[in-house]
Amino acid sequence: MSDQNIFLNHFSYTKWIITLLLGFSAGVLDVSFFYIIMGIVMWILYRCWKPSTEPSAIKCQDKAKEQAKVPHKVTDREFERLRYLQVLVNNSWPYITKYLEKFLRWRIQPLIRSRFKYLTNFHFFDIDFGNKAPQVTHMRVQSDPEKKQILLDLKISLNAAVMVNVGISKTIMAGVKSVKLEGTLRIILAPLIPDVPFTEAVNIYFPRRPVLHLQWTGLTNLLNIPGLHTMTERMIVDQIANFMVAPKFFTQPLAANFDMKNLPFADPWNALRIHVLEARNLVANDFFSKKSDPFVVVRGGGTVGKTRVISKNLNPQWNQTFEILFSDLPGQEIEFEVLDKNVQRDDSLGSCKIAVPHVLKKKFIDKWIRLDNVKSGELHIKVETLKLFSDRDKLQKVLNLNKRPRPPKSEELSSVALYTVIQKARGLPVIRPKKCKLNPLATVEVSVTDTVKRTGAQINSGEPEWKERLQFLIRTHAARECN
Ligand SMILES: *[C@@H]1O[C@H](CO)[C@@H](O)[C@H](O)[C@H]1NC(C)=O
Ligand SMILES: *[C@@H]1O[C@H](CO)[C@@H](O)[C@H](O)[C@H]1NC(C)=O
């Protein structure tokens, strides 16, 4: 029996309640709002485990059986409506906003400074999220004892007046007056441990893109900045929304000895080869020619790929291949959107999705998928799950396999997945920005053949530490050198 099962079995009624109260008072005393989340989870778990006559709750069986068998899922029920949750959220909102403020100043501000050349003095001036808490109406709890994690899904909606002002050096340039946010937030408690605080870390993200609307003041000032002038309001909001969506997640360690590599979903160990083959019966978008100029956008694993445009064809054949690495972060999808190429704005010809766990389970998928949000149209897709091997003998086999003749115009396939960890640097020169007291920052740019990835920004004290994990897929021609 694993440690975690022991901890779940031995937890008694009283202990749940005490944990809840402890969690709650810790929050009120401004220790950390994560303890409040912990408190909620403990309470829910207690509810699911207590002996009960409710048909939906898991009944306690006799002692021996109970020892032998811990239910795999805490609850399979769909989202349930919970009123007490809103009370908790209302009460913890002041602490959550304090946390968000720190998060923007200490995590987001340096990130923006390091990413945009013209924003090295980017600054959050005011951050006030108001006192209206988001509505958290529905919740679902799932546990995965095998992976030692508990999933908590919260349906949240926020529609509030806020005051967030940003600028450069000492000048306020733009601000956000109100925020509308709607989506399902997932909190993963992992890895679980049989000791306080019961989980080494709290991980937060949106499995799907939330709906986000911002009301701006002075946005044109911001968009006039050289590095930003090619952006639109839509693109800025997209960037903000994408920042919170899988495969990105935010981790708050709770245990002192937490290490990122203990998370079951820290690294993307699943490689998928996605073939976008063809489509049929697409709708005609051009009124005069009764045709469309279709292409497909493939999104997944934090990457975006595009096929070529095939003009004036409602049954196009692309035969193109995309390779993407996926982590085991629950709830990920591969999204396909068929678009009609236009001079001004590309119009949608429908979209469809495949769940990544479904592909991983089946290993291989070859099917026509009906496109959503459109009158007619189907997309033919093939997805293969690639196995990653760590022994060198297999590489030559793969290289030979990938060298086999392929149809013209098709992309080269990958043969090697490279995993890097950027730990720290030593003896870096510290270049202080002139005329301001801001800390100098350092990022690492790693380029492997034609792919470039960057770490986040860390304060450069001469020995900055990133501890970031970056992964690359390497195509066959470049992989020969790895042998
Ligand atoms: C939570 O706060 C909102 C206002 O911010 C209020 O309308 C709502 O009734 C409160 N809900 C509960 C359950 O306390
Ligand atoms: C796409 O692949 C199919 C099957 O291999 C082939 O018959 C077809 O000619 C290819 N089409 C293009 C445009 O390459």
Q: Which of 82, 83, 86 maximizes ligand 1 atoms within 8 Å of its Cβ, making it the mutation to test the pocket?
A: 86
Which ligand lies nearest to the CA atom of residue 320 in the structure?
2
Looking at the CA of residue 131, tell me the nearest atom of ligand 1. 5
Count of positions (residues) in the chain: 483
- The whole model's pTM is what? 0.75
Which residue has tokens 């860390």?
458
Sorted by sequence, the CB contacts under 8 Å of residue 204 that are 6+ apart come out as: 185, 186, 187, 188, 249, 250, 251, 252
Question: Does the C-beta of 232 come closer than 6 Å to ligand 2?
Answer: no
- Whether 117 and 193 map to the same domain: the answer is yes
CA of 86 to the centre of ligand 1 (A): 7
d(CA 83, CA 258) in angstroms, rounded, equals 33
Q: Which residue from 113, 75, 44 is spatially nearest to 443, judged by alpha carbons?
A: 113
For the chain (483 residues), the mean pLDDT of every run of 10, in chain order, is 40 48 50 59 57 37 38 49 74 84 85 78 90 86 78 90 89 90 91 78 89 89 77 80 85 83 87 95 88 94 91 94 92 94 88 94 95 95 89 79 69 81 88 64 82 80 85 75 55
- Whether 249 and 280 map to the same domain: the answer is no
- Whether 420 and 371 map to the same domain: the answer is no
- Whether 221 and 278 map to the same domain: the answer is no
Query: Domain for residue 111, yes or no?
Result: yes
Closest residue to atom 3 of ligand 2, CA basis: 319
Q: Token pair of 390, please?
A: 């760590």
Asked which of 388, 404, 428 is the last residue of a domain, the reply is 388
- Whether 329 and 223 map to the same domain: the answer is no
CA of 317 to the centre of ligand 2 (A): 7
d(CA 119, CA 341) in angstroms, rounded, equals 33
Q: Which residue from 280, 325, 303 is spatially nearest to 471, judged by alpha carbons?
A: 325
Residue 39's pLDDT is 65
Question: Does the C-beta of 376 come closer than 6 Å to ligand 1?
Answer: no
- Whether 202 and 300 map to the same domain: the answer is no
Query: Domain for residue 4, yes or no?
Result: no
- Whether 100 and 44 map to the same domain: the answer is yes
Residue 355's pLDDT is 94
The boundaries of the domain holding residue 379 are 270-388
Query: Domain for residue 221, yes or no?
Result: yes
- Whether 154 and 292 map to the same domain: the answer is no
Looking at the CA of residue 277, tell me the nearest atom of ligand 2. 1
Question: Does the C-beta of 407 come closer than 6 Å to ligand 2?
Answer: yes
CA of 278 to the centre of ligand 2 (A): 9
d(CA 88, CA 25) in angstroms, rounded, equals 12
Asked which of 262, 295, 322 is the last residue of a domain, the reply is 262
Query: Domain for residue 10, yes or no?
Result: no
Question: Does the C-beta of 410 come closer than 6 Å to ligand 2?
Answer: no
- Whether 168 and 303 map to the same domain: the answer is no
Q: Token pair of 427, please?
A: 């003896």
CA of 277 to the centre of ligand 2 (A): 8
CA of 395 to the centre of ligand 2 (A): 28
Q: Which of 81, 83, 90 maximizes ligand 1 atoms within 8 Å of its Cβ, making it the mutation to test the pocket?
A: 90
Query: Domain for residue 294, yes or no?
Result: yes
| Number of domains present in the structure of the chain | 3
CA of 406 to the centre of ligand 2 (A): 10
Asked which of 262, 284, 315 is the last residue of a domain, the reply is 262
- Whether 250 and 285 map to the same domain: the answer is no
Query: Domain for residue 136, yes or no?
Result: yes
Query: Domain for residue 12, yes or no?
Result: no
Query: Domain for residue 393, yes or no?
Result: no
Q: What 3 state SS string does the chain have?
A: CCHHHHHHHCCCHHHHHHHHHHHHHHHHCCCCHHHHHHHHHHHHHHHHHCCCCCCCCCCCCCHHHHHHCCCCCCCCCCCEECHHHHHHHHHHHHHHHHHHHHHHHHHHHHHHHHHCHHHCCEEEEEEECCCCCCEEEEEEEEEEHHHCEEEEEEEEEEEEEEEEEEEECCEEEEEEEEEEEEEEEEEEECCECCCCCCECEEEEEECCCCEEEEEEECHHHHHCCHHHCCCCHHHHHHHHHHHCECCCCEEEECCCCCCHHHCCCCCCCEEEEEEEEEEECCCCCECCCCECCEEEEEEECCEEEECCCCCCCCCCEEEEEEEEEECCCCCCEEEEEEEECCCCCCEEEEEEEEEHHHHHHHCEEEEEEECECCCCCEEEEEEEEECCCCCCHHHHHHHHHHHCCCCCCCCCCEEEEEEEEEEECCCCCCCCCCCCCCCCEECCEEEECCEEEECCCEECCCCCEEEEEEEEEEEHHHHHHHC
User: Residue 64 to residues 4, 60, 71, 365: CA-CA distances in angstroms?
Assistant: 18, 11, 14, 43
Looking at the CA of residue 319, tell me the nearest atom of ligand 2. 1
- Whether 208 and 322 map to the same domain: the answer is no
CATH of the domain at 327: 2.60.40.150
d(CA 200, CA 193) in angstroms, rounded, equals 7
- Whether 249 and 296 map to the same domain: the answer is no
Looking at the CA of residue 317, tell me the nearest atom of ligand 2. 13
Question: How are strands ordered across the β-sheet holding 378-386?
Answer: 317-326, 270-280, 378-386, 364-370
CA of 87 to the centre of ligand 1 (A): 7
d(CA 26, CA 28) in angstroms, rounded, equals 5
Question: Does the C-beta of 90 come closer than 6 Å to ligand 1?
Answer: yes
